Amino acid sequence: MRIAHLTSVHARVDVRIFHKMCSSLSVAGHHVDLIVADGLGDEIRNGVTIVDVGASRGRMARILSAPGRIYAAAAAREIDIYHLHDPELWGIGLRLKRKRRRVVFDSHEDVPEQMLSKPYLNRPTLRAIAHCLQRYETWACSRFDGIIAATPFIRDKFLQINPETVDINNFPLLNELASDIPWGGKQSEVCYVGGIGRIRGILEVVQAMTQVESRVRLNLCGKFNEADVEAAARGDEGWGRVNNLGFLDRLGVREVLGRSVAGLVIFHPVPNHIDAQPNKMFEYMSAGIPVIASNFPLWREIVEGNGCGLCVDPMRPSEIAKAIDYLVTHPDEAHRMGDNGRRAVTERYNWSIEEKKLMTFYERIQSGSST
């Protein structure tokens, strides 16, 4: 098949889109185009043809102009299946459908619920926008040939909109982040990997670093999403215990996970987080380190159910600090939890399983009639 993945928002080397989906499809022998809008130019990587339609200046310019540029590049190609990754591309997906092209939408998050957690709008405005988004989402996605959902929770929502819906979970690539560092060679460090923001618990985590009793440091890997939050974190006393490493490539992430005793995923209890399955949680598990996670019911089921970490109240820095201290000062228990997490990923939470579901889904879409 000839498959085109389209994104105006995500990086060309996004883990889910490029490293997992596009690369897997290329290895399986399909022709894969990845159309992006980042201004970094065209290239071929991992057998994937990356087509760049140019970057936009600012969020609003991106929303208004990038979809049109992506549509022009996409429509000019002879493609069997167009795979959209961003809600702002729903409109061009409908335009492609009018040309009788096969189109699927990949819902990484519950978009209306995500809107309710935006910090820069007031509640009435948020509710109104979320309501409109939900109606538009239902109307648009019912017309696409299929929907891919990043979690079972999102899948169940879309099954009421489009019967051709499947969950393709964002589970780790086996052995990608495994380290050769023995447990005894680890440093007195914990880590956070990923986008950094207020609702992802960064301020509570930095505050927790002022309350730990062990001589532990935090490896912070990623970019801040909000300037005021970065300023608040840097101004906190706990920042003195932070190794601010910035954005790291996959090899850099593996090295940090290899030397860390635990990984943190302390998201706030906002609607879009409660039923999420953060990629970082499973990456920590795949690297063989225990997880310190928010105590949401689903996360408890994964973390405590597999004996691979500790769950805490994400709004209480004292609980986060106690969990960090426990794992740092109980290396045998931390090692056991890390092994449990790696075993769970090997047996259940890995991309090899999801990859097969993706291939089967594409085959169904390709064999169905285009409408």
- Tokens standing for residue 27: 């290895």
Q: Is 346 helix (H, G, I), strand (E, B) or coil?
A: helix
Q: Does residue 308 contact residue 290 with C-beta atoms inside 8 Å?
A: yes
Cα atoms in the Cβ-side hemisphere of radius 13 Å centred on 62: 18
Higher-confidence position of 274 and 147: 147
The helix/strand/coil state of 193 is: strand
Run of H or E including 205: helix 202-208
Q: Which pLDDT does position 115 carry in this prediction?
A: 63
Quickly list H helices, 88-201.
Answer: 90-98, 111-115, 123-141, 152-159
What is the Cα 190 distance to its own chain's centre? Answer: 20
For residue 336, which of 308, 298, 369 has the smallest C-alpha distance? 308
Task: Give 190: exposed, middle or buried? Use CB within 10 Å, 0-12, 13-18, 19+.
Answer: buried
Query: pLDDT at residue 203 above 90?
Result: yes
Residue 121 confidence (pLDDT): 59
CATH number for the domain whose boundaries are 183-347: 3.40.50.2000
In this predicted structure, the answer to whether residue 360 has a pLDDT above a threshold of 50 is yes
Mean pLDDT of the chain: 93
Query: H or E stretch including 146?
Result: strand 146-149
Q: What percent of the chain shows pLDDT beyond 90?
A: 85
Residues of the chain with CATH 3.40.50.2000: 2-171+350-367, 183-347
Q: Does 38 score more than 70 pLDDT?
A: yes
The predicted pLDDT at position 62 comes to 87
Q: Residue 17 corresponds to which amino acid?
A: I
Residue 48: how many other CB atoms lie within 10 Å: 22
pLDDT tens, position by position, 284-336: 999 999 999 999 999 999 999 999 999 999 999 999 999 999 999 999 999 99
What residues contact 290, with CB distance under 8 A and at least 6 apart?
Answer: 261, 262, 263, 284, 308, 309, 310, 327, 334, 337, 338, 341
CATH architecture of 2-171+350-367: 3-Layer(aba) Sandwich (3.40)
Q: How far apart are CA 281 and CA 155, in angstroms?
A: 20
Q: Is the pLDDT of residue 59 over 50?
A: yes
Q: Tell me which residue of 206, 201, 207, 198 sits closest to 229, measured CA to CA.
A: 198
Per-residue pLDDT of 107-151, as tens digits, reads 998 876 766 666 555 667 777 877 888 899 999 999 999 999 999
Q: How far is Cα 103 from Cα 99, in angstroms, rounded to an integer?
A: 11
Task: Specify the pairing of strand 48-52 against strand 43-45.
Answer: antiparallel
CA distance 90 to 136: 9
pLDDT at 370 over 50: no
The pTM (predicted TM-score) of the whole model is 0.87
d(CA 154, CA 148): 9
Distances (CA, A) of 94 to 4, 61, 162, 242, 260: 15, 21, 15, 46, 46
CB atoms within 10 A of CB 21: 27
Mean pLDDT over residues 2-12, rounded? 96
pLDDT at position 371, please? Answer: 42
DSSP string, 275-344: T---HHHHHHHHTT--EEEE--HHHHHHHTTTT-EEEE-TT-HHHHHHHHHHHHH-HHHHHHHHHHHHHH
Does the pLDDT of residue 179 top 90, yes or no? Answer: no
Lowest mean pLDDT among 107-116, 213-222, 251-260, 315-324: 107-116
